[in-house]
A and B are shown apart, each in its own frame.
Chain A
Amino acid sequence: MKLILSTLLILGFATFANGQIITKQDAEARIKNYLSGFEKKDWNLVASQFTDDFNFTSPAGDDHISLAKYKEKCYPTSKFFKKVEFPKIMVEGNTAFAIYDIHTTDNKLVHNVEYYTFRDGKIKSIECFFGVGNNYPGNNKNK
């Protein structure tokens, strides 16, 4: 009996220490809200989807940059955001993939995919991969 009780306690603690698994709906909402923050030029909406120790990686020279650096470097692209669409979002455990299409104010398309990890119900990290299109809003790629 003692063994069962202590086992349950320890399992409970292990679950707590490792964080809860986000629901599929919440994960999708986090992803959509953060990009909606770019669309609405609302930094608070963006930042409130992320953990404090959030980091961002992309092929445009971003190697696990911090939230502060992300705000400085990536948030200014929000002025080129016209509309965001999500052809596909897939969630598994505390990870997700999303393909998004950003239509920009200079009439370009950004068609990328991102890999997310979640902790405590928020986005802990983003890794961005560039697809066909303009790579990121405001980029001067000749397309």
Chain B
Amino acid sequence: MKKSTFLVNILLIWAALSVQAGYAQTPADQAARLENTPNGKVVMAWYTAWVKKDWNLMQQILADGFTFSSPLDDHINIKVLKERCWPNAYNLKRADVEKFVANGEDVFVISTGWTNNGKSLRNMDCFKVKDGKITAYECFFGPGISFPNSGK
């Protein structure tokens, strides 16, 4: 086999394996991939709003009648979200998208968050998106401290 043919083949194997492995594996790649799905932009804006503590951005991406649920919150509205959960934003330094599946109105994301003092939370975030806005969010707790101000 000629050297150039050999190199082409190596490249092709790499390409084939990469495509099958889902290609984007790092959080930055996953975030870029999510951003390119029809409802992914608004979901990425959700994480940006928390990390940048930008309540104005948050309000822009939540639909009227939005509900927030978690093991500790049963379909709370935007007003209660702001009072009860938003203070957590000030203790959230970074949020990474680990895995996601987007299908129609549903976007499911495994995210890892880091607090100001380096503690981590790995959760499943389930979004419902309609007409470019988030209509519902439900959080499921994985390993870690569950939410930034949990005190764990």
A residues with a Cβ closer than 8 A to B are 2-3, 6-7, 10-11, 14-15, 17-18, 21, 57-59, 63, 88, 90-93, 95-97, 99, 112-113, 115, 127-133
Contact = CB atoms under 8 A, between A and B. Distances in A.
Contact of A6 (B1, B69, B74, B108): B1
Contacts of A129: 110, 123-124, 140-142
Contacts of A18: 16-17, 20-21
A93 B141 CA distance: 24
A7 B99 CA distance: 31
Contacts of A132: 69-71, 74
B108 A97 contact: yes
A10 to B, nearest CB: 5
A3 B5 contact: yes
Contacts of B70: 131-132
Question: Interface size class for chain B?
Answer: 20 to 34
B96 interface: no
A27 B50 CA distance: 34
Interface stretch (B6-14, B41-49, B58-66, B83-91): B6-14
7 contacts: A6-B9, A15-B16, A63-B143, A90-B103, A93-B20, A93-B22, A113-B108
A63 to B, nearest CB: 8
Tell me whether chain B's interface is mostly helix, strand or loop, or mixed: strand
B140 A112 contact: yes
B142 A131 contact: no
Nearest to A97: B108
Tell me whether chain A's interface is mostly helix, strand or loop, or mixed: strand
Given A7-B8, A112-B140, A14 B124 contact: no
A131 B140 contact: yes
Given A59-B141, A95-B101, A7 B9 contact: yes
B140 A14 contact: no
A26 B108 CA distance: 20
Cβ-closest 3 pairs across A and B: A129-B140, A14-B16, A129-B124
Contacts of A57: 143
A99 to B, nearest CB: 7
Contacts of B21: 18
A3 B9 CA distance: 9
A123 B70 CA distance: 27
B101 A92 contact: yes
